[in-house]
Structure 1
């Protein structure tokens, strides 16, 4: 990746603990974040968290994203590690299309079918910036906090010493969504 703009490192006190924070602006102008503990262990816990405004900031229970984010931040604050906030909203279809996908889901389509109806693949995300951020921090080995096999496969140059699952209990609003993630996207739930 070329032309990546990198911010200074700042301190970010949160309800989970105090982290360091650094921003990375990619060639497309998307700004991604790394939140990390002071002393990164040799093989830190890393969560690559894909942006979900509705779940992360608005508390939507149609997905498990907000709960996964909070679980990861609590664990990283306790154990040490890094959260990469990957700015690819709605599996990288953008917020407007994500809301359109929600409208299709209201009509009975599942999350994958809704994306297809809008002309997108089930998952449009790419992970080059994630690899760049890990290399920037000289992270060669890690424990990946994920249920998504695509995230595991995307980190070709990194030694994933362990996959740590995130198990979130389903609710009546996201039960079908989680089933689709497992059955059609291969998530390890």
Structure 2
């Protein structure tokens, strides 16, 4: 990895996961000491990591509103649910990164929601608040992967910036695998902004198609 200190593993513990739709799986939760940003990021090892020729990895940024409360304004909760099952099926790791609101924090994200209700898209709202469109840095993610002994991976993402940043940090991203499209009438405008503005690899329906 590119001249970045490798952190140490702090704790490993088995955690049974149960999702609202009944899907259940056991993950090994791993915490770390020495991450670059000092945040409490978490790795969830799913399936048989040792048997995976190339582990499947997802960098999932924390979304309290979507992951916990089921907000329909984004697709974060469904993406998290999908990623856990897909990774468990092949063997790999989900990195749960404490980067709420693409790195701007929960309160700022809700401020941005208010501006979106006035007509701005998700990126324009951040800029109107004097914040970056996307403040996320994946140095800590690369550190976590190094601590787990993962130098080559398949990345589960629709976001080309994640693969670009990992590669710049010395991680070999063999392939990117897209997540499903979790479009609803409530999040379609948000998803179109991601596809059009930051070139997320998602093919989206029109609102009329969802309504029909």
Q: Tell me whether the two structures share a fold, i.e. TM-score over 0.5.
A: yes
Structure-1 residue corresponding to 2:16: 13
1:32 aligns with 2:63: no
Query: Which segments of structure 1 move beyond 6 Å, counting only runs of 4 or more?
Result: none
Distance 1:102 1:45 in 2: 32
Task: Report the Cα offset of residue 3 of structure 1.
Answer: 9.4
Q: How does 1:13-162 map to 2 (within 5 A)?
A: 13-15=16-18, 16-24=24-32, 26=35, 28-37=37-46, 39-40=48-49, 41-156=52-167, 157-162=170-175
Task: Report the Cα offset of residue 24 of structure 1.
Answer: 2.8
Distance 1:91 1:186 in 2: 15
Task: Report the Cα offset of residue 121 of structure 1.
Answer: 1.8
CA 1:32–1:11: 2 relative to 1, 3 Å: same
CA 1:38–1:181: 2 relative to 1, 3 Å: closer
Gap regions ≥5 residues in structure 1: none
Distance 1:42 1:155 in 2: 19
Distance 1:148 1:38 in 2: 24
In the TM superposition, what whole-angstrom CA distance separates every residue of 1:50-84 from its partner, at most 9, and x where no partner exists? 11110000100100111100000111122211100
Gap regions ≥5 residues in structure 2: 19-23, 203-212
Aligned residue for 1:166, secondary structure, equals coil
Distance 1:133 1:29 in 2: 12
CA 1:158–1:3: 2 relative to 1, 3 Å: closer
1:163 aligns with 2:176: yes
> RMSD of the alignment, in Å?
1.6
Distance 2:69 2:93 in 1: 23
Bigger radius of gyration, 1 or 2? 2
Aligned 8 A contact 1:67 1:168 in 2: no
From 191, 195, 199, the counterpart of 1:182? 195
In the TM superposition, what whole-angstrom CA distance separates every residue of 1:87-126 from its partner, at most 9, and x where no partner exists? 1110100011001001111111100000000111210100
Aligned 8 A contact 2:79 2:182 in 1: no
